[in-house]
Amino acid sequence: ATPAEEKDLVIIGGGVAGYVAAIKAGQEGLKVACIEKRGSLGGTCLNVGCIPSKSLLNNSHLYHTILHDSKSRGIDVGDVKLNLAGMMKAKETSVSGLTKGIEFLFKKNNVEYIKGTGSFADEHTVAVNLVDGGETSVRGKNIIIATGSEATPFPGLTIDEKKVITSTGAIALTEVPKKMVVIGGGIIGLEMGSVWSRLGAEVTVVEFLGQIGGPGMDAEISKATQKILTKQGMKFKLNTKVLSGDTSSAEVALQVEAAKGGKAETLNADVVLVAIGRRPYTAGLGFENIGLEVDNRGRLVIDQEYRTKIPHIRVIGDCTFGPMLAHKAEEEAVAVIEYITKSHGHVNYNAIPSVMYTHPEVAWVGQNEAELKEAGVKYKSGSFPFSANSRAKTNQDSDGLVKFLADAETDRILGVHIVGPNAGEMIAEGTLALEYGASTEDVGRTSHAHPTLAEAFKEAAMATYGKAIHY
């Protein structure tokens, strides 16, 4: 065999973590190769995650608004019909445009793209099973593992992506189910549940905990969100666990009972969406050849500079610690290249925003009330409802609120929590404020254009150190 080509850096996985690291490495002048097995770049996020789900969220929201909300806006529409195949096509167009865009960026930044499955032959060599057949191998002075994550299965329920689905099936259904049960009221459950609810399915979300939204969502915001989604037609069963499922008939029959024990009941559904979290994906990487191990939750263990115990092998993104978010992966990708080339990098894990793209959106950054209480931090809070914001009212889109949490003594912002129209864009301002150590008074004394939704952000800040004007 010919000796493997030597690169400065080899990256296994072309998801957000891997492709951003590859581009950054190319920009820094490193000789870099990125190995991706799915046949297209962008990973979970671009192919079956962030992007396709947002396409469906946006277009199902438009459909729902036109169908139910036109009259009050003075728009008479004719026969409004769903063209599901067309909606899926729009989704596919956005996905393919963006994934091809990354291939272009690879070329522009001199990144070699190897289409195949990588696995460690030794500490510096990655063997690749090529997608188009055949094998190759590539050597790296440095190697980054960025193999991402996969849906956590529900024990006893076999995923067929038709009747029992993960998010991957939920972005590709060919007809609207009559009844859908979602196991897990986290971000995926609520985003995909609301897509199918808007398109006409009767959606019931079964959540083990006493609140929806998954880890990190503030309890008050979670409650407000649940109320809004209930008004939109979604049903919730909190504090409820799924015991088992029977898929032998046309409908899936789920046995559920109160989490703390109680009477069992059966929920029937055409489609069951399993959305109980994701777990790191590191299968088939040949760790036995190099002596790497994962922790009890499947995560690769790393130090502050993303190094495994084999220092030239580093790990970023969903397959290691931290929130499983694309923008977190992206920050790490830039930082890890800076560690490799300059020995210093920076990610502020306290200022990574979370956004749930339901309508209205839910967004937060920093700590929530429960976390501050547990840490014994003395804090104050202030909030402002969108029902008192002129733009939200004018847009007939005024459900929700903005809430600040700030240090009781210094007024420094500790957390910002929003449910409301455009919360996902608005949280960027909260993130910047947190990153720069702003106080709520800094925000409240900053001019915000009128009439904008962002004025609700300013007034919530004013309500934290003093008083809002319009509420």
Q: Is 326 annotated as a binding residue?
A: yes
> With CB under 6 A as the contact rule, which of the stretches 14-22, 263-271, 368-376, 404-412 interacts with ligand FAD?
14-22
- To the query of whether residue 344 is one of the catalytic residues in this protein, the response is no
Is there binding between residue 50 and ligand FAD (CB under 6 A)? yes
Q: Which is nearer to ligand FAD, 299 or 391 (CB)?
A: 299
**208 in contact with ligand NAD (CB under 6 A):** yes
Tell me which residue has tokens 């960026």: 105
Q: How far apart, in whole angstroms, are the C-alpha atoms of residue 153 and residue 155?
A: 6
Structure tokens at 93: 């167009």
Residue 292 within binding range of ligand FAD, rule CB under 6 A: no
* Residue number with CB closer to ligand FAD (121 or 388): 121
Burial of 8 (0-12, 13-18, 19+ CB in 10 A): middle
The helix/strand/coil state of 364 is: strand
What mask, x for binding ligand NAD by CB under 6 A, covers residues 165 to 204? ------------------xxxxxxx-x-------------
Of the ranges 140-148, 291-299, 366-374, 409-417, which one interacts with ligand FAD (CB under 6 A)?
Answer: 140-148
Catalytic residue (choose from 68, 359, 450, 470): 450
- Beta strand spans in 231-275 (E): 235-237, 240-246, 252-258, 264-269, 271-274
Beta carbon of residue 214, minimum distance to ligand NAD (angstroms, whole number): 3
Q: From the list 278, 314, 359, 458, which residue makes contact with ligand NAD (rule: CB under 6 A)? A: 278
Positive/negative CA dihedral, 412, 415, 421, 426: positive
Q: How far apart are CA 126 and CA 345, in angstroms?
A: 26
Instruction: Using the minimum distance from each CB to ligand NAD, give the nearer residue, 276 or 453.
Output: 276
Q: Contacts by 226-231 with C-beta closer than 8 Å and gap 24+?
A: 228/360, 228/399, 228/400, 228/419, 229/190, 229/194, 229/358, 231/399
State yes or no: residue 37 binds ligand FAD (CB under 6 A).
yes
DSSP 118-134: EEEEETTEEEEEETTS-
Binding-site member from 88, 114, 333, 356 for ligand NAD (CB under 6 A): 356
Amino acid at 189: G
Asked if 261 and 124 count as a contact pair (C-beta separation under 8 A), the reply is: no
Cβ closest to ligand FAD, residue 17 vs residue 95: 17
Query: Which of ligand NAD, ligand FAD, none is residue 285 near (CB under 5 to 8 Å by kind)?
Result: ligand FAD
Which parts are annotated binding residues? 54, 118, 147-149, 184-191, 207, 277, 318, 324-327
**Annotation: binding site for FAD:** 54, 118, 147-149, 318, 324-327
